[in-house]
Amino acid sequence: MKKCVDLSSYLGKTVEITIDRPLGSAHPQYPQTIYPLNYGYLPDTLSGDGEEIDVYLMGVSEPILEYTARVIAVIHRENDVEDKLVAVPEGMRFTRAQIEEYTAFQERYFGSVVILAEEID
């Protein structure tokens, strides 16, 4: 089993995201799961599952393929080998409850804790 990578160093940073599951698209293995937000990864990074670090992009209401955004939270999965980042357009903010609501379509299957950037500062 691989080890979870600490993503806290990304909090507050601006990142370039490649979107491989645009808003409205179906999950490739579970087609009944439709993405209510853009979801992608940070190219040239490595997460606990051996793949790139995954990112939920909130605050963008149209399907896109790339985006530059600021990381506002880490979703720590207590029962998985990988955590997720949450990023937003510069100047936007979301509460823990909003993040939990937007990511519940996928995070409900895991024991997840949202760590906000403001809590680290």
Taking the mean position of all CA atoms in its chain, how far away is CA 117? 14
Per-chain mean pLDDT for the chain = 91
User: CB under 8 Å to 30, separation ≥6 — which residues?
Assistant: none
Q: What is the pLDDT of residue 2?
A: 56
Q: What is the pLDDT of residue 79?
A: 83
Q: What is the pLDDT of residue 91?
A: 93
Longest dimension (CA), the chain: 39
Question: What is the pTM (predicted TM-score) of this model?
Answer: 0.92
pLDDT digit string (tens) for 11-57?
999 999 999 999 999 999 999 999 999 999 999 998 888 889 999 99
Cα distances from 99 to residues 1, 3, 33, 106, in angstroms, run 28, 24, 18, 12
- Where residue 113 falls among pLDDT bands split at 50, 70, 90? very high
Q: What is the pLDDT of residue 119?
A: 65
Domains and CATH numbers, the chain: 8-120 (3.90.80.10)
Question: In the numeric block, which tokens belong to residue 115?
Answer: 């760590």
Least confident of 1-10, 49-58, 76-85, 98-107: 1-10
Q: What is the pLDDT of residue 3?
A: 57
